[in-house]
Structure 1
Amino acid sequence: MDWRRLKARVLEAGAVRLTGRPADGYVSRSAAGPSAGSSGSLFFSTGAGRRVRAGIDEGSPIEIFHRGGGEADLSIDGDVFRGRLEPAALHCPRQAYITVSGSCIFHCRYCMVPSLPGRRKGVEEIVGMVAGVADRIDAVSITSGVASSIEEEEAYVLEVVAALASFDLPIGVSIYPGPETPARLRALGVAEVKFNLEAATEALFCEMCPDLSWDGVWDSLQSSVALFGPGRVYSNVIVGLGESDGDLERVMGDLAAAGVIPVLRPLTPAASLADRPRPSAERLLRLYKAHDRILQQAGLDPRRALTMCSACTGCDLTPGRDV
């Protein structure tokens, strides 16, 4: 089994069974997105930039045996792979990936955040968090729910970004955008942005995120490319909401043609989609080939990513990295 198939199988399962020596120092927990409120996750790496993130579930058919000191073996389908558990600086390895507001007024059907008692972190608190890991990170990434309004959240995130400028690290931001969000982030020196279409089609977007605007996200993505440059703008597209492979190929092609790198995110069944299946390993591998071809044709390379998901790659099969 090669690395790409191994990773696809882990993403299909969504979780691993953790055994062996205590590994608390390698377990992280999410405050945003579908994994918010879960029992935690870890990162397994075989080196050369190859890593996969998985939840922890005693019932998983995939085992990670921690031999101590981060050294670990992953057992899957009768094969054993030797690697390491990577410690997360904040949420993921080599980044301070911070959720500003852990609550949201919107109710996207795949997201647990609106049902959780999340809070907003203070600006000085966030600065302190980054300072605490500054010696082991290469970037800062900021995401957020929407605590009271899109406009108010943007204003607060701008305060956070301004306060983090002194660290002289690339900053990536992923929030729900308003019309002026890209220009305001760029004016503060943000290196990359990620505004998420989430669904492969407008109809699915309206079904999954009924209070948000598909056209608004597209407008922000297109204006961002002019400001940040092709390949510095990203958009998550969830795999498993009910779309076809053709739908995904079309939206990936549209994004790439606009200079945006699509990030294919396997569905984590949660909230009102808790009964949905995860996408199969075979589907993820099939989509990887289309994703790779579309990015190459557009001259876009996720290996150049400085921040956020395309720099981490733990949750997705990433062309150029997962080879």
Structure 2
Amino acid sequence: MNERSEPTTVTAEPLADGGRMDSATEVFVAHRNLLFTVAYEMLGSVADAEDVLQETWLRWMKVDLKQVRDQRAYLVRITTRRALDRLRAMRRRKEAYVGPWLPEPLLTTPDVAEDVELAESVSMALMLVLETLSPTERAVFVLREAFGVGYDEIAAAVGKNPAAVRQIARRARLHVDARRPREVISPNEARTALESLRRALETRDLQGLLDVLAPEVVLVSDGGGVRQAAPRPITGATKVARMIVGGSGKAGVALTGDLTVVNGNPALVLRVDGEIDGVIAIRVEDARITGLYYVRNPEKLTRIASEIPLTLR
């Protein structure tokens, strides 16, 4: 789906205007992790988020800093506008995507997992819920709920008046609240469920899977037309367990799962004969897994080798 782009690099170059580039670059770099987090939460794609940051920087280089009262807010505004344009374009690309589309998993730094608010805002479960919002609803929800941006500033970013933004925010919040997990579980609870899942996967233990899966569990797998994946979500513990066991490789193939932290939450990196096969994120309620999100598309597995810093501030 996405052509991979190189991470945004920003270097200060001397200009004839007395070092304005150095000053502007310093400000941009100081807020880079925040801007990336905004773009990623809106897009669910690292490559697209990096492209948005590059576009934001190029636009920022043309700004007269003396006329900017709040540099952070101005940068967030530019990023939001660029991300909105890209999100609308991505919707057209997703219509041609083969099978279900899942957000790109990120190997995140330890501080992300320690920040409960941040970890929930980038969790695979919530990111998937955000996919059901319109582009403007998603932008408003992300800016308001995750980053605490004021309505006036959001209005300037999305091209709406503050009254309309308040209505959009309320509608988006109700929509998300109806679909997000009922409770935020602790990392220990998630790791316990993942450990049970890992053991069952490695031993191809059908009953072990049934024990850890909730009766109404939903499996969403993303192969992007490159790797084998279910063409649509699979519902029900028995169907999901049989699908996993049946598709976990031929007899004699070594299947292993490595516990890690993806998108600020415990996850599994699944390997077949030592080679990465995919990343499994989960949704847990009442100590059992209610959602399995299995990303197998190789284009979405390039960012799990090194940690990516995220921040809400």
TM-score (norm: length of structure 2): 0.26
The answer to which structure has the higher strand fraction is: 1
The answer to which structure has the higher helix fraction is: 2
Which protein has greater RCO, CA pairs closer than 8 Å, 6+ apart?
A: 2
